[in-house]
């Protein structure tokens, strides 16, 4: 099931359709002025200073890289598209953590090995779906490649230090140890904390976030986040409750992604040795309620902000 179909993300698809419709209209207007420039949403990690596109969805880009005379950046209220209440039962945790891994780049593959090496793999709800669609789309592997070929190839090329862990997991992949009929929100509620692997994590000059972290922000459980340096700080500055009193997010300031991963694993091991108290669960409920309200506030000005950003971008194209 796509995250767009999950309860709690009811606004997202309409928001996506809205912004692309507004961009299409703006481009039609630009064409009437015989302008070759076109507005386009630019993904964070493909941001190019030489681009002739003007809209950027990323929520933070190093100011030294972004000339505001040439580019228009959506405000932090862009996150309002993730608003919506996730209705879940107050389930009793059955496992210590959850970690959902869909795509299979070498770093994500290393997370499986690291969880095994840390002796916490069996304490969590873990999925490793071995999606290689991006590998194929980016021509990193031949179109006829199978997930098992990519899995073995990435191990041979980058991850041979995990030979023992590779041998353990090899007969089990693709891997999932929870019911396929369960929603991710239900699995999170059956866990004491979440290990969130964001879409991007190896750039420090941008911060881009997805439904992965907002799903956790809206649920009453602690989480730790593998993303770009400063991602947690950015969420904090936007007004989200990141549960600083329950979770040591100091890993967020580590420059190198591999070192950040190691710090997260150390923290995960420590959290596996703890048990959520009723007071801590109540604290998590307060944070979830606050974060849902924050997203709703962002959504209330979302369309106005999108319209303004697109109008500003169109003006820059005509200047």
The average pLDDT across 301-315 equals 95
H/E stretch holding 99 reads: strand 95-103
**Strand pairing class (191-197; 95-103):** parallel
Alpha helices (H) along the chain: 12-32, 106-117, 133-137, 147-158, 163-169, 184-189, 211-217, 231-237, 257-272, 278-300, 302-318
Residue 97 three-state SS: strand
Contact residues for 214 (Cβ-Cβ < 8 A; gap 6+): 79, 82, 295
Q: Of 59, 114, 83, 63, give the one whose Cα is nearest residue 233.
A: 59
Tokens encoding 8: 């709690």
Residue 101 three-state SS: strand
- Report pLDDT digits (tens) over 201-259: 888 888 989 999 999 999 999 999 999 999 999 999 999 999 999 999 999 999 999 99
More confident: 35 or 15: 15
pLDDT at 61 over 70: yes
Between CA 189 and CA 216 the distance in angstroms is 10
Between CA 306 and CA 313 the distance in angstroms is 11
Band of pLDDT at residue 63, cut at 50, 70 and 90: confident
Q: Which residues pair with 176 in a beta bridge?
A: 127
Between CA 298 and CA 307 the distance in angstroms is 14
- Report pLDDT digits (tens) over 135-144: 888 888 999 9
Band of pLDDT at residue 53, cut at 50, 70 and 90: low
Band of pLDDT at residue 134, cut at 50, 70 and 90: confident
Phi/psi region, residue 34 (left: phi>0; alpha: psi -120 to 50; beta: rest), is left
Mean pLDDT over each residue of the chain, to the nearest integer: 92
Q: Please tell me what DSSP assigns to residue 195.
A: E
Q: Of 212, 194, 200, give the one whose Cα is nearest residue 82.
A: 212
pTM for this prediction:
0.94
Query: How high is the pLDDT of residue 127?
Result: 98
More confident: 234 or 32: 234
The average pLDDT across 8-13 equals 93
The average pLDDT across 20-38 equals 86
Q: Of 184, 196, 165, give the one whose Cα is nearest residue 260.
A: 196
pLDDT over 70 for what percent of the chain? 96
Within 13 Å, how many C-alpha atoms sit on residue 254's CB side?
19
Domains (ranges, CATH) in the chain? Answer: 3-83+299-318 (no CATH), 95-292 (3.40.50)
State residue 11 phi and psi, 5-degree precision: -85, -20
- Report pLDDT digits (tens) over 88-114: 777 789 999 999 999 999 999 999 999
The average pLDDT across 292-307 equals 97
Radius of gyration of the chain measured on its C-alpha atoms: 21
Query: How high is the pLDDT of residue 7?
Result: 87
Q: Of 33, 79, 22, 83, give the one whose Cα is nearest residue 55.
A: 22
pLDDT at 31 over 60: yes
Between CA 314 and CA 269 the distance in angstroms is 50
pLDDT over 90 for what percent of the chain? 73
Band of pLDDT at residue 50, cut at 50, 70 and 90: low
**Quick one: how many helices (H) and strands (E) in the chain?**
11, 10
């Amino acid at each position: 099931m796509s995250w767009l179909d999950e309860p709690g993300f009811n606004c997202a698809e309409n928001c996506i359709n809205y912004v692309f419709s507004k961009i299409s209209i703006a481009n039609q207007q630009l064409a009437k002025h015989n302008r070759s420039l076109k507005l386009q949403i630019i993904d964070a990690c493909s941001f190019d200073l030489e681009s002739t596109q003007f809209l950027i969805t990323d929520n933070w880009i190093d100011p030294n890289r972004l000339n505001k005379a040439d580019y228009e950046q959506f405000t932090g209220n862009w996150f309002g598209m993730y608003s919506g209440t996730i209705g879940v039962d107050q389930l009793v945790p059955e496992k210590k953590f959850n970690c959902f891994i869909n795509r299979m780049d070498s770093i994500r593959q290393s997370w499986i090995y690291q969880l095994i090496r840390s002796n916490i793999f069996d304490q969590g709800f873990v999925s490793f779906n071995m999606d290689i669609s991006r590998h194929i789309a980016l021509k990193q592997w031949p179109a006829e490649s199978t997930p098992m070929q990519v899995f073995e190839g990435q191990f041979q090329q980058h991850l041979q230090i995990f030979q023992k862990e590779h041998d353990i997991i090899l007969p089990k992949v693709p891997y999932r140890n929870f019911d396929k009929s369960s929603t991710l929100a239900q699995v999170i509620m059956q866990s004491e904390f979440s290990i969130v692997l964001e879409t991007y994590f190896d750039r420090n000059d941008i911060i881009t976030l997805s439904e992965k972290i907002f799903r956790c922000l809206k649920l009453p459980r602690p989480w730790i986040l593998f993303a770009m340096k400063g991602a947690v700080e950015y969420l904090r500055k936007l007004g989200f409750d990141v549960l600083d009193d329950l979770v040591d997010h100091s890993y967020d300031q580590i420059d190198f992604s591999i070192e950040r991963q190691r710090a997260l694993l150390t923290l995960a091991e420590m959290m596996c040795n703890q048990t959520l108290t009723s007071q801590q669960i109540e604290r998590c409920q307060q944070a979830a309620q606050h974060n849902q309200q924050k997203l709703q506030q962002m959504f209330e000005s979302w369309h106005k902000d999108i319209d303004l950003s697109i109008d500003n971008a169109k003006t820059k194209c005509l200047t």
